[in-house]
Amino acid sequence: MDNTEFKKNSKHDPDAKFADNERLKGQSNFLRGTIEPDLGDQLTGGFTADNFQLIRFHGMYQQDDRDIRPERAKQKLEPLHNVMLRARMPGGIIKPEQWLAIDKFADDKTSYGSIRLTTRQTFQFHGVLKPHIKGMHQMLDGVGIDSIATAGDVNRNVLCTANPVQSELHQEAYEWAKKISEHLLPKTKAYAEIWLDGEKSETTEEPILGSTYLPRKFKTTVTIPPDNEVDIHANDLNFVAIAQDGKLVGFNVLVGGGLAMTHGDVNTYPRRADDFGFIPAEHTLAIAEHVVSVQRDWGNRSNRKNAKTKYTLDNYGVAAFKAEVEKRSGVKFEDSRPFEFTHRGDRIGWVDGIDGKHHLTLFIQSGRILDYPEKTLKTGCRKIAEIHQGDFRMTANQNLIIAGVPADQKDIIEKIAREHGLIDDSHTEQRKNSMACVSFPTCPLAMAEAERYLPTLVEQTESLLAKHDIANDNIILRVVGCPNGCGRAMLAEIGLVGKGPGKYNVYLGGNRQGTRVPKLYLENVSEDVYLAAFDELIGTWAKERLTLENNEHECFGDFVIRTGIVAEVKVSKTDFHA
């Protein structure tokens, strides 16, 4: 669908001026652009013009080391350009032999040497210089991995509940995650042509995504209640598994979640997803395709800050969007089936599956797998991969599951994990329930520290909990360097969102289940201000929280809502900035 056809089918003003991204997508020859000749230009370490954006559709972001940017500028050198690559791994499952391949590449060809597990349930390479980019894609292809459509205005890596306990149901859900990912991929052969020396062929259409692709990024999950570790309300499209007698019968479909916003722009906000209703499993791909096609045609292509599915729903109404999906797919949504989320953190440690196998979830702070002086995490993972007979599962909380371990391998794998710091019994529940995005030094959007600050922030929070005699309790705590949503701070009980160097906006009032958006409490404040506020708030919570029917204590997020410290965000469009 070119721009003329789009304007004819869109609900938007046909005379509206499109954002420049629409031009570059339309002129890209289905994502080819001039990436190939640009790749051969060794006079610069970066990509030029439109290719800076187009490489995102191939799974890469151009970045540079911001720690050394000023010094390079003094020397009249361009920034040290490199790319971050995000792999496409639906459901986060990776085989040991694949792990060994990416481990070796991280050692040999990246500036940082690390494998980073992300909140998108996959891994990222950081610091890949231009001469190594093509070889990186070919290495990945050689072990059955690609990075097609993990960034850009497309459906990105499809998340799936990683909980290995419900093994049979998990396998069914995982298979749907793979099918959805494949069904919604771009059909252009640009990736294979540019990176894998594939045979060149003409692309004439993109039947689902259109020739100018989607108005904005699009995220999809497959979730198995009662676990919500994928944080469904951070995603455009969610398939919540409904089971009978342990077998998958269909999904409740939730549409329109998203967490990104822009500081100072009240027309942007985080938003929960709406439940459209239940569908039998056989209609999954049709519904996925046509939620995407409606967003393709109705989404805002003039203002990218108002282009995500959540705004399309608010601009045109949930009922109208749902009716259009039904019309295009030929599938009527049934009444939603009951489900409940009671848990969203990863189950750290050993868990027994119903298949007689055992599963070890390793806590990886910020998902950064690297050898540190006191804990050689990367070496430990490699040694496990060399003997492991099952698979690895990356989680949406940046942790790693060694899945499918037979009984006779449990002790040796635990021994390796402990020797290399992958199991640390001193980790508190607070540390396990805290998360950060990458931020400095690589992210070009970062306004404040996140990953590098998280260990300090966790220690400070642990100290406050201990001071008020609740050291064994915890708060869902997340810190991000900017308001774009990567670390999902807008579903935390306490969310810090970077505003400037050393300054954050503080949001309170999310809940343990991940079903409520928090609200602004402090704006543009430094550490001394928000830590003093945390001290007072935690102290009051410790004294005045309710004891619930199950003898558990009222969580921090529920407490601040009940006591009126912040108002509950019920309808984001009207409540979030009120």
Asked if 198 and 140 count as a contact pair (C-beta separation under 8 A), the reply is: no
Q: Find out whether 313 and 254 touch, Cβ atoms under 8 Å.
A: no
Q: Which of 160, 381, 486, 555 is catalytic?
A: 486
Q: How many CA atoms within 13 Å lie on the side-chain side of 355?
A: 16
Q: Which of 120, 437, 516, 545 is catalytic?
A: 437
Measured CA to CA, the distance from residue 56 to residue 488 in angstroms comes to 21
443 annotated ligand-binding residue = yes
* Annotated catalytic residue within 86, 271, 310, 393: 86
Q: Which of 240, 271, 245, 275 is nearest to 257 (CA)?
A: 271
What are the beta bridge partners of residue 66?
Answer: none
482 is catalytic: yes
Provide the CB-side half-sphere exposure for 306 (13 A, CA). 13
CB proximity list for 297: less than 8 A, separation 6 or greater: 1, 6, 9, 10, 11
DSSP string, 22-75: HHHHHTSTTTTTTHHHHHT-TT-SS--TTHHHHGGGGTEEEEE-TTSHHHHHHT
Known catalytic residue: 381? Answer: no
- Calpha distance 449→457 (Å, rounded): 11
Q: How far apart are CA 357 and CA 359, in angstroms?
A: 7
DSSP code per residue over 350-405: EEE-TTS-EEEEEP-GGGEE-B-SS-BHHHHHHHHHHH-SSEEEE-TTS-EEEEEE
Asked whether residue 482 is marked as a ligand-binding residue, the answer is yes
- Maximum CA extent, the chain: 68
Give one word for 312, left, alpha or beta, with left for phi > 0 and alpha for psi -120 to 50: alpha
- Active-site residue identified among 130, 156, 271, 478: 156
Which one of the listed residues 56, 130, 217, 347 is annotated catalytic?
A: 217
Kindly name the residue from 130, 219, 301, 308 that is annotated as catalytic: 219
| 160 carries a ligand binding annotation | no
Assess contact for 554 and 542: CB atoms under 8 A.
no
CA of 454: how far to CAs of 103, 399, 431, 433, 434, in Å? 25, 15, 9, 11, 8
Q: Which of 297, 277, 300, 287 lies closest to 327 in space, CA to CA? A: 287
Catalytic residue selected from 160, 381, 443, 555: 443
Q: Is 219 a catalytic residue?
A: yes
Taking the C-alpha atoms of residue 249 and residue 442, their distance in angstroms, rounded to an integer, is: 43
- Residue type at 109 in one-letter notation: K
Q: Return the bridge partners of 504, or none.
A: 498, 525
156 part of the active site:
yes
CA atoms within 13 A on the CB side of 321: 31
- List 482, 512, 516, 545, catalytic entry: 482
Binding site for [4Fe-4S] cluster: residue ranges? 437, 443, 482, 486
Binding site for siroheme: residue ranges? 486
- The residues annotated as belonging to the active site are 86, 156, 217, 219, 437, 443, 482, 486
Binding site: residue ranges? 437, 443, 482, 486
